[in-house]
């Protein structure tokens, strides 16, 4: 641990860390649970410290960016009316209505997977599912699949490089897609499709319609979260089940256990690595003095493996760990889209397990892990045998 509060305790982008992020985070949690780096600023590795941040939005503000971020980058009371608008889109009724479309997408993708031939799970399956499911949920045309795929990759590269100009250009590119979608609906008037995008355009916040800037920010946040995290989640799930064939067979025989099993696998191996906050006053965490205005990185990928909470972090114990799992966050910013993500993953995995008899790594080909800020895989070669 460094004596100077702004002398780096670690390098999150070193080859050593990026070669095995999860193990590196496990080590940091034990050796330096509150760490400074030039890249992440203050990083919190322990479950209790992350919970402290999540439960005290007055001290640890979500307004960590200079750009509008609806509602992720807002604190109550500003955050509250936006959250009220969003939550009905993820209600039990909304999920029930969307589930048949989700199942249809999942079933077609599973049926189209090659039998007994190597394929890349990420490109062929997980990323395709995320793109199709997001576009269908929002009411976006299939023609956006290709541009959105490229946009996600560019957004990831810009974020990893901390390239502010590139990040601004990527955001502007996405804004253009949304502007076109909004304009198409405005020109259609009463004939506009009755989908989530049109409905959001008709919502009001504090008695007024949302501006295009607010709508674009909201849809960008939904899209980044959906495309990146769902794709990462699917690759993690298939990799884990390939390594644990007994569990895969158990879940194929008892799909009722799927929801808890999915959450637990994604606790062990995080699809979303971190989020940010900023301090509004001087605080001390684990004896480290943190001034006002400092950026905090809450590391889900470490907090969800904290031995003090979960025991052996790699032990598969879904019922024991359920109440402390931070997969979808906690507090006022707990993920509003969690019901959608859970439904999508449950439906996809049920269809996959129904159709697939064996799942194994492709011989002679090595997977490539994704690196911060995303989890999961960039490349995951697998072979399946269908039933």
Q: What is the extent of the structural domain holding 54?
A: 15-386
92 φ/ψ angles, rounded to the nearest 5 degrees = -60, -40
State pTM to two decimals.
0.94
- Judge whether 9 lies within some domain: no
Q: CB within 8 A of 210, min separation 6: which ones?
A: 70, 85, 200, 201, 203, 204, 218
Cα radius of gyration rounded to whole Å, the chain: 21
- Judge whether 146 lies within some domain: yes
Count Cβ atoms below 10 Å from residue 92 Cβ, excluding itself: 9
* pLDDT for position 36: 97
Q: Of 147, 145, 146, which Cα lies nearest the Cα of 135?
A: 145
- Judge whether 252 lies within some domain: yes
**Do 303 and 47 meet the contact criterion of CB atoms below 8 Å apart?**
yes
The Cα–Cα gap between 102 and 196 comes to 15
* Measured torsion, CA atoms of residues 187, 193, 199, 204, in degrees rounded to the nearest 10: 20
**Residue 219 maps to which CATH number?**
1.10.630.10
Residue 277's SS3 state is strand
Which two tokens mark 289?
């003095």
Sign of CA dihedral 113, 114, 119, 124: negative
Range 281-289 contact pairs with CB under 8 angstroms and sequence separation of 24 or more: 281/59, 283/59, 285/34, 285/42, 285/44, 285/49, 285/52, 286/33, 286/34, 286/46, 286/49, 287/34, 288/5, 288/34, 288/36, 288/42, 289/5
- Judge whether 313 lies within some domain: yes
pLDDT in tens, the chain (387 residues): 445 557 899 999 999 999 999 999 999 999 999 999 999 999 999 999 999 999 999 999 999 887 889 999 999 999 999 999 999 999 999 999 999 999 999 999 999 999 999 999 999 999 999 999 999 999 999 998 888 888 877 877 777 777 778 878 888 888 899 999 999 999 999 999 999 999 999 999 999 999 999 999 999 888 887 888 999 999 999 999 999 999 999 999 999 999 999 999 999 999 999 999 999 999 999 999 999 999 999 999 999 999 999 999 999 999 999 999 999 999 999 999 999 999 999 999 999 999 999 999 999 899 999 988 789 999 999 999 999
- Judge whether 239 lies within some domain: yes
How many structural domains comprise the chain? Answer: 1
Count Cβ atoms below 10 Å from residue 178 Cβ, excluding itself: 20
- Judge whether 2 lies within some domain: no
**Do 99 and 343 meet the contact criterion of CB atoms below 8 Å apart?**
yes
Which two tokens mark 279?
């301090």
Q: Which helix (H) or strand (E) holds 321?
A: helix 318-321
Q: At what angle do helices 212-243 and 258-268 cross, to 10 degrees?
A: 90
* pLDDT for position 167: 77
Which residues, in sequence order, are bridge partners of residue 41?
37
């Amino acid at each position: 641990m460094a004596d100077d509060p702004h002398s780096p305790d670690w390098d999150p982008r070193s080859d050593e860390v990026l070669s095995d992020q999860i193990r590196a985070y496990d080590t940091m949690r034990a050796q330096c649970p509150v760490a400074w780096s030039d890249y992440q600023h203050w990083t919190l590795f322990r479950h209790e410290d992350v919970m402290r941040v999540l439960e005290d939005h007055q001290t640890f503000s979500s307004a960590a960016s200079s750009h509008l971020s609806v509602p992720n980058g807002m604190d109550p009371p500003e955050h509250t009316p936006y959250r009220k608008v969003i939550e009905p889109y993820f209600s039990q009724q909304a999920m029930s209505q969307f589930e048949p479309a989700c199942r249809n997408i999942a079933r077609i993708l599973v049926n189209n997977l090659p039998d007994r031939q190597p394929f890349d799970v990420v490109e062929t399956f997980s990323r395709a599912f995320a793109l199709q499911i997001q576009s269908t949920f929002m009411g976006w045309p299939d023609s956006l699949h290709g541009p959105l795929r490229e946009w996600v990759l560019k957004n990831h590269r810009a974020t990893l490089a901390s390239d502010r100009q590139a990040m601004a250009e990527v955001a502007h590119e996405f804004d253009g897609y949304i502007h076109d979608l909004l304009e198409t609906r405005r020109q259609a008037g009463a004939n506009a499709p009755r989908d989530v995008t049109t409905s959001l355009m008709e919502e009001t916040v504090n008695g007024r319609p949302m501006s295009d800037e607010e709508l674009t920010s909201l849809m960008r946040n939904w899209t980044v979260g959906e495309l990146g995290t769902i794709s990462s989640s699917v690759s993690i799930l298939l990799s884990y089940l390939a390594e644990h064939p007994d569990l895969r067979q158990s879940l194929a025989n008892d799909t009722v256990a799927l929801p808890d099993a999915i959450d637990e696998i994604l606790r062990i191996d995080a699809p979303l690595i971190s989020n940010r906050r900023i301090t509004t006053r001087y605080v001390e965490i684990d004896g480290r003095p943190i001034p006002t205005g400092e950026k905090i990185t809450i590391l889900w990928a470490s907090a969800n493996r904290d031995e003090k909470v979960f025991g052996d972090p790699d032990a598969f114990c879904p019922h024991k760990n359920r109440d402390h799992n931070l997969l979808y966050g906690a507090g006022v910013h707990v993920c509003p889209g969690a019901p959608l993500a859970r439904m999508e993953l449950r439906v996809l995995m049920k269809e996959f397990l129904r159709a697939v008899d064996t799942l194994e790594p492709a011989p002679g080909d090595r997977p490539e892990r994704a690196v911060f800020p995303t989890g999961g895989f960039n490349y995951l070669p697998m072979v399946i045998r269908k039933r």
